[in-house]
Amino acid sequence: MTEFLDFLKHKYAYVAIGEFQPGKFDEAKQLYEKAVATYGQGFGGSYLLQEPGTDKGIAIIFWSSVEEMEANKNEVHEAIVKQISHLLVAPATTSVYEVCSTFDPPASQSEA
């Protein structure tokens, strides 16, 4: 029964949308990867998206729970976030979303 209840739990996504100072996206990407490397318990993967030809981006970080997301904040993480914030044109827009539905593509015929 525990496995079934775990299946019903929804994951969460932390989403940050922002624009970096001209030419600073690559530096921000390196810092982002450094921050993500500090995550442990509850971390479920991440994406960093860049609008082509711009310094605009979206970071999406998946978590098992909001509590685990908060528990991963530490001095090292906060120092990296502060460095990233100095590269932004304006403060990023951030939100936490509940992942309500996911869809994986079907396995290819060759994998069957």
pLDDT, one tens digit per residue, over 10-66 is: 899 999 999 999 999 999 999 999 999 999 999 999 999 999 999 999 999 999 999
pLDDT, one tens digit per residue, over 67-100 is: 999 999 999 989 999 999 999 999 999 999 999 9
Task: Name the class of domain 9-100.
Answer: alpha beta
Does the reported pTM lie above 0.75? yes
Q: Point out which residues pair with 17 in neighbouring strands.
A: 58, 93
Phi, psi of 17 (to 5 degrees): -120, 125
Residue 8 has pLDDT above 80, yes or no: no
Cβ within 8 Å of residue 5, ≥6 positions away: none
Instruction: Name the residue ranges covered by the structural domains of the chain.
Output: 9-100
